[in-house]
Amino acid sequence: MRGGAGRAPGPRWGGRGSRYRRERAGPSAVPQRCPPGPVRAAPRPRYGRGVGPGPRPLRCPTRARPAHCAGAIPAPAPRAGAGREARVPLKVRPAAGPVLRARRAASAVGAARLGVTPGLCPGTRDGAMVATGAYALGWRLWLLMVAVHWAAGARPCSPKYFGLNAMVCVCNATYCDTLDPVVLPALGTYVKYESSKAGKRLERSEGSFQRSLRAPDLVLTVDTAQRYQEVKGFGGSLTDAAAINILSLPETAQDHLLRSYFSKEGLEYNLIRLPMASCDFSLHAYTYDDVPFDYELKHFSLRDEDTKLKIPLLHRVLAMSKRPLSLYASPWTSPTWMKTSESFVGKGTLKGQAGDKYHKTWANYFVRFLDEYAKHNLTFWAVTAENEPSAGLINNYPFQCLGFTAEQQRDFIARDLGPALNNSSHRGIRLIILDDNRLHLPHWAKVVLEDEEAARYVHGIGIHWYLDFIGPIQDTVVPTHELFPDYFILATEACIGAHFWERDVILGCWERGNQYSHSILMNLNHFVSGWTDWNLALDLEGGPNWVKNYVDSPIIVDSSEGIFYKQPMFYHMGHFSKFIPEGSQRVGLVASKESKKTDLEYTAFLRPDGAVVVVVLNRSPQNITFGLADSVGLIAAVAPASSIQTYLWQRQ
């Protein structure tokens, strides 16, 4: 679940959701920056062709097109009965042929190149003046672009707009944008990948270092003498909902989606988090042993969600990934017969106390889970002791949870979970504590890791991002690292749409990509070793979710059309995951004294192959000129407004 308190009433330290608070609080006063185009407040149609979640942009009427329609975003009418209750599976239309696809893309590409607002009403005066020329030129430009990119192996984005600058890249069974595998440039040169609100998506360019060049006021200098944490990696979570959405697509579209995340032509994720049984992003609540008082776990068995959905997808991912994949699992709840509440939801902890039959059985449940997945040739790198243990301490918590205080988790690890894992065939597995909002640090880490018995079984600390705004990283993560430098810190869950003031899904929202990159940069620059997104893929509503705790995702699936949308968040993730492989080490990146204050956010890493990676984020509305300096020379660079760049070069 994304964050410690799904949308639940109670203390603010709950993590993800707040639909309950949203309904009580009424309309939020917090402005939504995406999409920026004109909208009308109308009930949200959740399904129907071309209808995205949230308030719909004004549509151009079929016949009469009044003046206010100029520049509006056209949208097909919702399908009859397309409200929230109309969830009967829809027939998937045959995928558009290459000519039709090219035509659709051409109109958008041509309009973008001409500076015309995509989706301009063709029947308006302005639309009539530019439609023919934009379409014809766009068609030629698109064909030329495709020819150039395909010759190099990459395929360009097929864009679709849901508002001004609210662009997604559309994939279906026959087409999906791809990237070239990363190849180190020659000495003295660099490659740059850029994405922007203006429409670039990991666009590659090359350049050369300069020796005699007047340096700009702001110069970022790589200092490899300053060495910090090593990187574990980047990835996302394969929930029941994500698996259902992926498998709802035609098989070739499924492959495109998986390859977009895990292959060399995609983002090259190397981390996958799996819920251990159900979570809120399931169709119903369940565990692997719901037979009461089965202390020997004789009835423990994986469910169809594992054997028919997640496990087959994991095997496909393993087959296409060139990087080693690290799987880690997190439980949301124990079987109800082990809990004080005897319920999947609401406030409740394990019955009894550490060392008793309930705690021993729950510890053995972890081992059985690992055993069963091992039978399917799947080995886990790590487990977390519990997803958001603080959630189970909240009254009326709305979905699966299991409460632990820091002291209870310490004792459970020392007396039950640690020994159970250590005495099993999985003794090399990593154990991660907390897996909750960083607000609990450094207290939680001190309670667990200052106990020698518990600490010897622990390897790392997991953090969620949902309450970062009231738990500054300098007051939580930094002192934790200083106290316990030998334990890695990993960001284990994040998503947008979880707070009551946020809309669930906003297609094409660049600002949400900015939020991802800002968080990743902040974490990497403060000793965090990696960053894991929440659901790999959700539907247009932001689900399915059995308690309607909907959120956004980097990939949104429209199964009725057999397509999926790659959101700006997807490409922001790629600026890190594709270029900073496991084993990279953060190094110093020092700003020149003349310009310490800048709107740029940045980080630098030394890869295992000796190359340097620098990521630069510009969330401001202005272009920013800067320089990148290393022993090989100087790069004169510009970070366009609302953009993110990744630079890569060899040092020797």
Active site residues: 388, 493
Task: Say how far apart CA 595 and CA 618 lie, in whole Å.
Answer: 16
Nearest to 327 by CA among 233, 261, 419, 240: 233
Task: Say how far apart CA 336 and CA 355 lie, in whole Å.
Answer: 19
**Three-class SS of 543-612:** CCCCCCCCCCCCEEEECCCCEEEECHHHHHHHHHHCCCCCCCEEEEEEECHHHCCCCEEEEEEECCCCCE
- Single-letter amino acid, residue 2: R
Count Cβ atoms within 10 A of the Cβ of residue 383 and give its class: 0-12 exposed, 13-18 middle, 19 or more buried.
buried
Task: Say how far apart CA 421 and CA 424 lie, in whole Å.
Answer: 5
Nearest to 551 by CA among 518, 512, 583: 512
Listing DSSP states for 347-393 in one string gives S-BBSS-TTSHHHHHHHHHHHHHHHHHHTTT---SEEES-S-TTGGG
Neighbours of 597 (CB within 10 A): 6
Task: Say how far apart CA 435 and CA 275 lie, in whole Å.
Answer: 12
Task: Say how far apart CA 283 and CA 543 lie, in whole Å.
Answer: 9
Degrees, nearest 5: CA angle 193-191-189: 165
Task: Say how far apart CA 559 and CA 539 lie, in whole Å.
Answer: 8
Strand partners, 490: 462
Token pair 């990087």 in the structure block, residue: 323
Token pair 């997640």 in the structure block, residue: 310
C-alpha distances (whole Å) from 407 to each of 249, 327, 329, 343 are: 45, 27, 22, 23
Count CA atoms within 13 Å of residue 444 on its CB side: 27
For 263, phi then psi, to 5°, come to: -90, 175
The tokens for 19 are 């639909």
Task: Say how far apart CA 488 and CA 639 lie, in whole Å.
Answer: 32
Peptide bond into 74 cis (omega under 30): no
Peptide bond into 581 cis (omega under 30): no
Residues 6+ apart with CB under 8 A from 581: 231, 233, 268, 270, 323, 607, 608
Task: Say how far apart CA 55 and CA 233 lie, in whole Å.
Answer: 36
Listing DSSP states for 251-285 in one string gives HHHHHHHHHHHHSTTTT---EEEEEES--SSSSS-
Count Cβ atoms within 10 A of the Cβ of residue 610 and give its class: 0-12 exposed, 13-18 middle, 19 or more buried.
exposed
Strand partners, 493: 464
For 135, phi then psi, to 5°, come to: -65, -50
